[in-house]
């Protein structure tokens, strides 16, 4: 399994944990992994992204433009920002819920998530848009957003990770008090994918 994966979003959405879970699953499988994250910008509202490279022959953690097999985007504007990295026929999974970036809020710039989603729909043939707002209502908290999106990626088949592998790593890497929440988010992702396939 050789995969180049980018996760992007804004601070407070749980992108860093999602990145660590993917990397941990790969390491459990004995696969070489390199990753790079923008931890310094992870304060709430700042841009956050992670590059994850899995497989043999990796020499750098950074993914070049046009090399990402998948982009898992927690926010539409960040998805557009990272679009140049997606390879031809690569898959993008994006949350349809926009989050006003800090700089846009401070400068009074208008920002419309729908415009970003319309742009992505034109540019990305293999695009999955998810109603994360509805999903978080069903989960009962926005804290399940990251595992929900990760679950959508898992159930798409493009991530190369199984549901059981993800559950196992959640048990090992996430505090026990959050297990039920994360498993609920995964179940919600499974139902979402079933509805999409109908």
Model confidence over 33-44: pLDDT tens digits?
A: 999 987 655 455
**Is pLDDT above 70 for 6?**
yes
Task: Output the CA torsion sign for 125, 121, 54, 181.
Answer: negative
User: What does the alpha-carbon distance between residue 4 and residue 17 come to, in Å, rounded to a whole number?
Assistant: 17
Put residue 140 in one of left, alpha, beta given phi > 0 → left and psi -120 to 50 → alpha: left
**Is pLDDT above 90 for 162?**
yes
CATH topology of domain 3-197: Pyruvate-ferredoxin Oxidoreductase; domain 3 (3.40.920)
Unique residue bearing structure tokens 């690569």: 90
Helices 179-197 + 145-156 axis angle, to 10: 40
Task: Kindly give, in sequence order, each residue whose CB lies less than 8 Å from that of residue 159, ignoring residues fewer than 6 positions away.
Answer: 3, 5, 22, 70, 153
**Is pLDDT above 90 for 76?**
yes
- Give how far Cα 63 sits from Cα of 24, 68, 71, 196, Å: 19, 7, 11, 30
Predicted local distance difference test score (pLDDT) of residue 14: 85
Structure tokens at 83: 């679009």
User: What does the alpha-carbon distance between residue 144 and residue 146 come to, in Å, rounded to a whole number?
Assistant: 6
Model confidence over 95-154: pLDDT tens digits?
A: 999 886 655 555 656 667 789 999 999 999 999 999 999 999 999 998 999 999 999 999
Task: Name the pTM for this structure.
Answer: 0.91
């Amino acid at each position: 399994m050789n995969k180049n994966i980018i996760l992007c979003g804004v601070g407070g959405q749980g992108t860093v944990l999602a990145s660590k879970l993917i990397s941990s699953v790969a390491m459990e499988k004995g696969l070489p992994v390199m990753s790079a994250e923008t931890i310094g910008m992870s304060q709430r509202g700042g841009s956050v992204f992670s590059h994850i490279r899995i497989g043999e022959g990796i020499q750098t953690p950074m993914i070049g433009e046009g090399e990402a097999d998948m982009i898992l985007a927690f926010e539409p504007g960040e998805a557009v920002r990272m679009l140049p990295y997606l390879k031809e026929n690569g898959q993008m999974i994006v949350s349809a819920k926009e989050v006003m970036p800090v700089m846009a809020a401070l400068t009074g710039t208008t920002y419309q998530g729908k415009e970003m989603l319309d742009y992505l729909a034109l540019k990305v043939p293999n695009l999955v848009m998810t109603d994360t707002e509805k999903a978080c209502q069903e989960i009962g908290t926005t804290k399940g957003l990251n595992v929900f999106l990760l679950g959508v990626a898992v159930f798409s088949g493009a991530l190369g990770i199984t549901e059981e592998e993800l559950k196992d790593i959640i048990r090992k890497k996430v505090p026990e008090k959050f297990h039920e929440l994360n498993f609920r988010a995964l179940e919600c992702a499974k139902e979402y994918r079933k509805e999409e396939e109908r």
